[in-house]
């Protein structure tokens, strides 16, 4: 099979070919290395490559019987540069760790390699994943392939761009304030934030934190589901991790279940939204009406999400990064300094009120899903913006107070402990991607993926074939 044909194929089809020995992991690595050489200088998505390590792992895997090669059978996967891979440079987008080479991998990476994943690259991320625009002082900015003057979003921006441009078939990312969903929206791919605990990972800072999760990205829903199967499973080193479900996510997607009743909201009642984004997401949601699905305009009561999200997020920054502020203040970007200091200034009363408020919000959202199978809204409130703007400062006439205010629409699912997915749903008049956020009830990952697969088929968007970057002056 020609390299170009491999690059354009879906992950699911390639894993089947790997399982039949029609191709080898080395064939895929060769195709990727050529594609990255041609494309990545235009977008800067994969700044760290480890093809020697990848080929060594691939050759070792190929010595095993096919039944022992895991779910992925030798599928190459890039890992976000917030996550340690043994023997591979791991910077977290920070000058503080610019030369760090860890001896051990994250639990999540161990699980993936146990399922036959071959790690060949680290994907670019903002400093410590903060800010939802992928730039840092170590590697610079990752550029949007639909217009290289624009942001790829973040923090899994490098992963999303690698997928969109054919430098990956599957990509791992992480999500606190939309970091799997915002870049998926900006790059016309699929990104899933799973239910907390679905994917085991190494714990740092607060042991029981459920704001940040690891999750899968791909160019279509079926590939995301298959990748989630490989990522899922419990581990004693992650005390909130969940066992792998009896029925695979891939099987749930292929079963073709559609929802009975869904809700759509342009803004969840809490945020401004660009009118074109609102119109495109509404149009996509309403497509379900002609396929026997009841679509109603509604949303749960999340009026206090802003203060809750700001407080609990800041608390996490203080717990995890106070030492960095003390020892390396001059090396931190101003947004990170602000967030740590905000957390350190919190009173116990602030934290108690936020945690109690979050619990009440989760309960209201759970009751909402007693009446609706899925909640639909924009994944990101704006189309891709100029990469030189550090963050979105205003939207539809509203000026934001902080650098994370524009992320509130994705923060709701984070607070509620719900799985949430960004599905490509169309393009603006200027040809920029827009994503529809699909939110399901907590632990409803399989149903959410099945619903997304159904809507994906209705929308008929080409989410498999990668593009070449559009370099515009």
For residue 461, CA distances in Å to 35, 117, 231, 283 come to 24, 28, 26, 14
Which of 10, 90, 123, 179 is flagged as catalytic?
179
Helix (H) / strand (E) containing 297 = strand 294-297
Per-residue DSSP letters for 369-427? TTT-SEEEEESSSSS--BTTSSS--EETTEE-SSTTGGGHHHHHHHHHT--EEEEEEEE
| Distance of alpha carbon 72 from alpha carbon 233, whole angstroms | 15
- Note if 63 is an active site residue: no
- Note if 80 is an active site residue: yes
| Distance of alpha carbon 120 from alpha carbon 246, whole angstroms | 30
For residue 189, give both structure tokens.
């791919």
CA dihedral of 386, 391, 394, 399, whole degrees rounded to 10:
-150
Which of 90, 94, 105, 155 is flagged as catalytic?
155
| Distance of alpha carbon 65 from alpha carbon 21, whole angstroms | 11
| Distance of alpha carbon 272 from alpha carbon 408, whole angstroms | 10
Question: In sequence order, which residues have a C-beta less than 8 Å from that of residue 246 and are 6 or more positions away?
Answer: none
| Distance of alpha carbon 471 from alpha carbon 473, whole angstroms | 7
Contact 411, 177 (CB under 8 A): yes
Question: In sequence order, which residues have a C-beta less than 8 Å from that of residue 144 and are 6 or more positions away?
Answer: 43, 150, 151, 152, 161, 186, 187, 384, 387
Contact 128, 84 (CB under 8 A): no
DSSP state of 20: T
Nearest to 12 by CA among 75, 81, 103: 75
For residue 74, CA distances in Å to 69, 162, 197, 235 come to 7, 18, 25, 22
Phi and psi at residue 76, to the nearest 5°: -70, 140
- Note if 155 is an active site residue: yes
Judged by phi (left if over 0) then psi (alpha if -120 to 50, else beta), residue 256 lies in left
Which residues are the active-site residues? 80, 155, 179
């Amino acid at each position: 099979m020609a390299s170009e044909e491999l690059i354009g194929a879906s992950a699911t089809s390639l894993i089947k070919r790997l399982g039949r020995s029609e191709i080898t992991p080395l064939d895929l690595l060769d195709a990727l290395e050529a594609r990255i050489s041609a494309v990545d200088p235009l977008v800067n998505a994969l700044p760290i490559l480890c093809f020697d390590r990848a080929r060594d792992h691939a050759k070792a895997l190929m010595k095993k019987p096919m039944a022992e090669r895991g779910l992925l059978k030798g599928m190459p996967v890039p890992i976000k540069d917030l996550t340690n891979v043994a023997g591979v440079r791991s910077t977290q987008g920070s000058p503080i760790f610019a030369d760090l080479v860890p001896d051990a991998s994250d639990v999540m990476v161990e699980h993936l390699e146990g399922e036959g994943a071959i790690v060949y690259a680290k994907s670019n991320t903002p400093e410590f994943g903060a800010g939802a625009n992928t730039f840092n002082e170590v590697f610079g900015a990752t550029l949007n392939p639909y217009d290289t003057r624009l942001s790829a979003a973040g923090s899994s921006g490098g992963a999303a761009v690698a997928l969109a441009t054919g430098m990956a078939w599957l990509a791992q990312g992480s999500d606190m304030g939309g970091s799997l969903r915002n870049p998926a929206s900006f790059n016309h791919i699929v990104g899933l934030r799973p239910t907390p605990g679905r994917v085991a990972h190494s714990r740092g800072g607060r042991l029981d934190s459920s704001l940040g999760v690891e999750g899968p990205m791909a160019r279509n829903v079926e590939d995301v589901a298959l990748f989630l199967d490989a990522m899922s499973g419990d581990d004693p080193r992650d005390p909130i991790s969940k066992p792998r479900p009896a029925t695979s996510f891939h099987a749930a997607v292929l079963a073709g279940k559609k929802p009975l009743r869904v809700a759509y909201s342009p803004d969840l009642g809490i945020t401004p939204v660009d009118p074109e984004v609102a119109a495109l997401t509404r149009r996509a949601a309403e497509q379900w009406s002609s396929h026997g699905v009841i679509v109603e305009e509604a949303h749960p009561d999340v009026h206090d999400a802003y203060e809750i999200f700001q407080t609990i997020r800041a608390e996490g920054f203080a717990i995890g990064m106070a030492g960095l502020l003390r020892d390396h203040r001059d090396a931190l970007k101003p947004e990170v300094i602000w967030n740590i200091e905000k957390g350190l200034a919190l009173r116990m009363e602030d934290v108690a009120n936020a945690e109690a408020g979050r619990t009440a919000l989760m309960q209201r959202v759970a009751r909402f899903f007693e009446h609706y199978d899925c909640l639909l809204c924009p994944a990101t409130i704006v189309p891709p913006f100029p990469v030189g703007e550090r963050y979105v400062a205003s939207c539809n006439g509203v000026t934001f107070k902080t650098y994370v205010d524009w992320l509130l629409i994705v923060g709701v699912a984070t607070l509620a402990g719900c799985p949430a997915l960004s599905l490509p749903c169309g393009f603006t008049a200027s040809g920029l991607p827009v994503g529809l956020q699909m939110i399901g009830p907590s632990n409803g990952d399989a149903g959410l993926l099945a619903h997304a697969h159904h809507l994906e088929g209705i929308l008929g968007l080409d989410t498999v074939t990668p593009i070449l970057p559009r370099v515009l002056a």
